[in-house]
Amino acid sequence: MTALEEKILKEGTVLPGDILKVDCFLNHQIDVSFLLDMGREIARLYENQGVNKILTIETSGIPIAFAAAQFMNVPVVFAKKNKHGNISDQVYSSKVESFTRKNVYDAIVSKEYLSKTDRVLVIDDFLAKGNALNGLMDILNQAGAELVGCAIAIEKGFQGGGDELRAKGIRVDSLAIIDSMTDCSLTFRK
Amino acid sequence: MTALEEKILKEGTVLPGDILKVDCFLNHQIDVSFLLDMGREIARLYENQGVNKILTIETSGIPIAFAAAQFMNVPVVFAKKNKHGNISDQVYSSKVESFTRKNVYDAIVSKEYLSKTDRVLVIDDFLAKGNALNGLMDILNQAGAELVGCAIAIEKGFQGGGDELRAKGIRVDSLAIIDSMTDCSLTFRK
């Protein structure tokens, strides 16, 4: 999505530790009309795939998941991040290591909201090593739900998580894939 | 909003500790088309008020803020919950005590995204004692931004937070106000 690449170049900042700061439009302040464009594009990519539910994870996956959901006429379920270690038997859960925050949490989803009749599109804002996605796919597996694909706003291609998933035959669509990133330059995969 | 009252009666559950569980449509699974109706109603209530930004707080304020924002053509800023105690001088922050989780966190907003030229509508999913709203208003005050009003999905009227704010002259619009709540009955303010 060329408009997203241009927006990253114009408004993003690279911080030490391979962090791309895009909190002016994606994950602190939200450029709602731009996110609707992203949601429309995801809906186009997954047209006629029989998706009946979107799964994302708090916090910053929620706006883009909500945007896509409204063009696909499906509900969103967002996994919660539990840092307390107490997991009830009413939830599916999976341990996730956070790249940005350097911590581990349990992603949890109430058993009420995922079942084996669901065909699910997983959406998130970032894909780096794929830890959050792997946690969400683990949860889908526990629920017996079917994974249709993963739609991502920004993939850090150089961290390899997306290509590992693709090599396993999982459909991954990222609206922008960054191939390399330094303080002074940022290149996208074409 | 009668449709919201009906939905709470039909799909909500009262849990011990005055907790209303509505995570089947509002704060775990999201009924996107219903939230768009709520967003449309908030946009109608704040038409021609010169609102140029919506402020909410993670996590479950985000979907309804996003829904309202798209009908008002304004960006959303969501405050983050910081539990680590380290506050940078690049952010506005305010201590908030959580009613549901029985903990204290710092609500933080980057100084880049709020300024004295902003006319802000604050949106959240729940209003009980008003702790989160008071934190967000404290942040607006630090930024010198103008508060236009607060729009809430569900107000627990019997906990008094909303009426305290109204008594101070603050505009508070709740789409449903619960006057009393027990395991077997739930009444709304008309």
DSSP string across chain A: -HHHHHHHHHH-EEETTTEEE-TTTTSSEE-HHHHHHHHHHHHHHTTTS---EEEEETTTHHHHHHHHHHHHT--EEEEEEE-S----TTEEEEEEEETTTTEEEEEEEEGGG--TT-EEEEEEEEESSSHHHHHHHHHHHHHTPEEEEEEEEEEEGGG-HHHHHHHTT--EEEEEEEEEE-SS-EEE--
Q: How far apart are CA B82 and CA B104, in angstroms?
A: 9
The pLDDT of residue A101: 73
Q: Which among A147, A171, A136, A151 has a CA at the least distance from the CA of A50?
A: A147
Q: Which residues 40-99 of B have a C-beta within 8 angstroms of A?
A: 58-59, 62-63, 66-67, 69-70, 73-78, 80
Q: Indicate the average pLDDT of chain B.
A: 95
Q: Calculate mean pLDDT across residues B145-166.
A: 98
Q: How far apart are CA B33 and CA A132, in angstroms?
A: 27
Q: Which among B52, B181, B53, B61 has a CA at the least distance from the CA of B124?
A: B61
Q: Would you state the structure tokens that stand for residue B136, as one six-digit string?
A: 């967000």
Of A24, A74, A77, the CB nearest to B28: A77
* Sequence-distant (≥ 6) Cβ neighbours of residue A36 within 8 angstroms: A67, B70
DSSP structural state of residue B28: S
Q: How far apart are CA A82 and CA A76, in angstroms?
A: 19
With an 8 Å Cβ cutoff, is A24 touching chain B?
yes
Is the per-residue pLDDT at B101 higher than 90?
no
With an 8 Å Cβ cutoff, is A33 touching chain B?
yes
* Sequence-distant (≥ 6) Cβ neighbours of residue B49 within 8 angstroms: B119, B121, B148, B149
Q: Is the pTM of this model over 0.90?
A: yes
The pLDDT of residue A149: 98
Cis omega before residue A182 (within 30°)? no
The pLDDT of residue A84: 73
Q: What are the backbone angles phi and psi of residue A74, rounded to the nearest 5°?
A: -130, 160
Q: Would you state the structure tokens that stand for residue A36, as one six-digit string?
A: 């609707």
Q: How far apart are CA A156 and CA A164, in angstroms?
A: 12
Q: How far apart are CA A148 and CA A63, in angstroms?
A: 20
Q: Would you state the structure tokens that stand for residue A133, as one six-digit string?
A: 């996605």
Q: Do B29 and A59 touch (CB under 8 A)?
A: no
Q: How far apart are CA B82 and CA A1, in angstroms?
A: 33
Spell out the per-residue pLDDT of chain A, length 190, in tens. Answer: 999 999 999 999 998 888 899 999 999 999 999 999 999 999 999 999 999 999 999 999 999 999 999 999 999 999 999 877 777 889 999 999 987 777 899 999 999 999 999 999 999 999 999 999 999 999 999 999 999 999 999 999 999 999 999 999 999 999 999 999 988 889 999 8
Q: Do B58 and A59 touch (CB under 8 A)?
A: yes
The pLDDT of residue A3: 97
Is the per-residue pLDDT at B185 higher than 90?
no
| CA distance readout (Å), B175 to A8, B29, B48, B79 | 37, 19, 19, 22
Mean pLDDT lowest for which of A150-159, B10-19, B82-91? Answer: B82-91
Q: How far apart are CA A39 and CA A24, in angstroms?
A: 18
Among A54, A57, A66, the strongest candidate for a mutation testing the B interface, having the largest count of B CBs within 10 A, is A66
The pLDDT of residue B87: 77
| CA distance readout (Å), B30 to A67, A99, B55, B83, B166 | 12, 27, 20, 26, 29
> Which residues of B are less than 8 Å from A118 in CB distance?
none
Q: How far apart are CA A41 and CA A1, in angstroms?
A: 8
Q: How far apart are CA A188 and CA B82, in angstroms?
A: 33
With an 8 Å Cβ cutoff, is A185 touching chain B?
no
Q: B9 to chain A, minimum CA–CA distance in Å?
A: 18
Query: What ipTM, to 2 d.p.?
Result: 0.95
The pLDDT of residue B93: 96
DSSP structural state of residue B112: G
Q: Would you state the structure tokens that stand for residue A125, as one six-digit string?
A: 């804002």
Q: Do B113 and A78 touch (CB under 8 A)?
A: no
Q: How far apart are CA A55 and CA A137, in angstroms?
A: 10
The pLDDT of residue B158: 96
Place B11 in a pLDDT band, splitting at 50, 70 and 90. Answer: very high
Of A66, A67, A113, the CB nearest to B29: A113
Q: Do B28 and A110 touch (CB under 8 A)?
A: yes
Q: Which domains does chain A have, with CATH numbers?
A: 2-188 (3.40.50.2020)
Q: Which among B134, B154, B129, B150 has a CA at the least distance from the CA of B60?
A: B154
Q: Would you state the structure tokens that stand for residue B64, as one six-digit string?
A: 């309804």
> Which residues of A are less than 8 Å from B110 in CB distance?
23, 28-29
